[in-house]
Amino acid sequence: MTDGASPPRPGPARPDEDQGGGPPGPAAPLIEVRGVSMRFRAQSVLRDINLGIERGQTVCIIGESGCGKTVMLKLLIGLLQPTSGSVLFDGGDIASLRGKDLIKLRLRFGFLFQMAALFDSLTVYDNVAFGLREHHVCDEAEVKRIVSTRLQEVGLPAGLEWKKPAELSGGQRKRVGLARALALKPEVMLYDEPTTGLDPIMTDVINELILQTKESEKATGIVVTHEMKTVAKVADRVVMFYPLARLGPDDPQVIYDGPPEGLEDAADPRVRQFVRGEAGERLREMAQQRTASP
Ligand SMILES: Nc1ncnc2c1ncn2[C@@H]1O[C@H](COP(=O)(O)OP(=O)(O)OP(=O)(O)O)[C@@H](O)[C@H]1O
Ligand SMILES: [Mg+2]
């Protein structure tokens, strides 16, 4: 399926099960989002989302501001628990993980947060080294080697590692966040708007790094982005969410799930408008909302 709503929910048997003595079926997805809904008090943000993400695949999640993209990433790593439904990683429900098991799971993920989320009181060096030290994965000499390699990879000049985040530009902070997320060689990288606020050259540098991580580390990637250039460069697949507030009670929230090449000519006009950056009906809707509000 290349367009329209998310695929039908799988039945209780997975495709790799019930094969008898025959050849093994296709592998189960590394990440499986099953019927996930998320609500914050009175506000419903996600409704009945179903997504299977294969090992090694890079999926871009797009959609307008507030439609629940960051919430989705946080659900994938267990920083938020869904109101209903479940998120499976490698076949196990992450809601059932506690303590050490949850830490082990998080070690398999790298997360580049939307606002970089660095520790303000630590230097750049200590920020990138943080996870390595926290989890005692190597000695200090190896920490030093990894930190300088990762900082070089993201194009940060030598000497910058002794600065604090407050002394950096937004783009530099983002790159430090990326170096930190990559330090532990994660199996899955979650990128929340990795290029927002960067100049075109730096945007391309980050896109290249995402591509490299995908190719050399064979990492699975989930990239939340507004940048169509990022989508074109890194995505194997694109999933588009639509804000629940503007959907009817039975409308699917995933309005596109398919290859990046299919976006421009998608059957759904909401998808075409978004990728072409056209305001379309939205200007009129926003004007109507303004006149309707007291
Ligand atoms: N912890 C929270 N508590 C209450 N509401 C929340 C929380 N996190 C997110 N929300 C709400 O959920 C909605 C979706 O938020 P989210 O951050 O996922 O949007 P987004 O699609 O990432 O938008 P953007 O493109 O602007 O980053 C927003 O209305 C937001 O206010
Ligand atoms: Mg967001």
CA of 18 to the centre of ligand 1 (A): 40
Residue with CA closest to ligand 1 atom 25: 65
Give the model confidence (pLDDT) of 34-69 as tens digits. Answer: 999 999 999 999 999 999 999 999 999 999 999 999
Stronger pLDDT, 29 or 277, i.e. the higher one:
29
Q: List the structure tokens of 74.
A: 């946080």
Three-class SS state of 41 = coil
DSSP the chain: --SSSPPPPP-SS-TTSS-TTS---PPPPSEEEEEEEEEETTEEEEEEEEEEE-TT-EEEEE--TTSSHHHHHHHHTTSS--SEEEEEETTEEGGG--HHHHHHHHHTEEEE-TT----TTS-HHHHHHHHHHHTT-S-HHHHHHHHHHHHHHTTPPTTGGGS-GGGS-HHHHHHHHHHHHHHT--SEEEEESTTTT--HHHHHHHHHHHHHHHHHS--EEEEE-S-HHHHHHH-SEEEEE--GGGS-TTS-SEEEEE-GGGSTT-SSHHHHHHHHT--TTHHHHHHHHHHH--
Residues 140-190: pLDDT tens digits?
999 999 999 999 988 888 889 999 999 998 888 888 998 999 888 899 999
What's the pLDDT at 124?
96
Q: Report pLDDT digits (tens) over 224-255.
A: 998 899 999 999 999 999 999 999 999 999 99
Higher pLDDT, 70 or 290: 70
Provide the token pair at 117.
Answer: 């989320």
Calculate how far, in angstroms, residue 248's C-alpha sits from the geometric centre of ligand 1. Answer: 20
Residue 16 has pLDDT above 50, yes or no: no
CA of 40 to the centre of ligand 1 (A): 9
Q: Which ligand is nearest to the CA of 74?
A: 1
- Probe residue for ligand 1, chosen from 49, 69, 190 as the CB with the greatest number of ligand atoms within 8 Å: 69
CATH class of domain segment(s) 29-108+187-262: alpha beta
pLDDT, mean over the chain? 85
> Around ion ligand 2, which residues have CB less than 5 A away?
70
pLDDT at 19: 41
The ligand 1 site (C-beta within 6 Å) comprises: 40, 45, 65-71, 114
Helix (H, G, I), strand (E, B) or coil at 230: helix
Average pLDDT over residues 66-95: 94
From the CA of 73, give the closest atom in ligand 1.
Answer: 18
Selection from 217, 28, 184, 27 nearest residue 106 by Cα: 184
- What is the residue extent of each domain of the chain? 29-108+187-262, 119-185
- Residues paired with residue 261 on neighbouring β-strands, in sequence order: none
Residue 13 has pLDDT above 60, yes or no: no
For residue 40, the tally of other CB atoms under 10 A from its CB is 10
- Other C-beta atoms closer than 10 Å to the C-beta of 84 total 12
Place of tokens 């997360």: 111
Query: What pTM value is reported for the model?
Result: 0.85
CA–CA dist 255, 270 (Å, integer): 8
CA distances (Å), 209 to each of 48, 113, 175, in order?
33, 16, 10
Name the residue with the closest Cα to ligand 1, atom 19: 66
Yes or no: say if 60 and 231 are a contact pair by the CB < 8 Å rule. yes
Per the listing, tokens 């993209």 go with 69
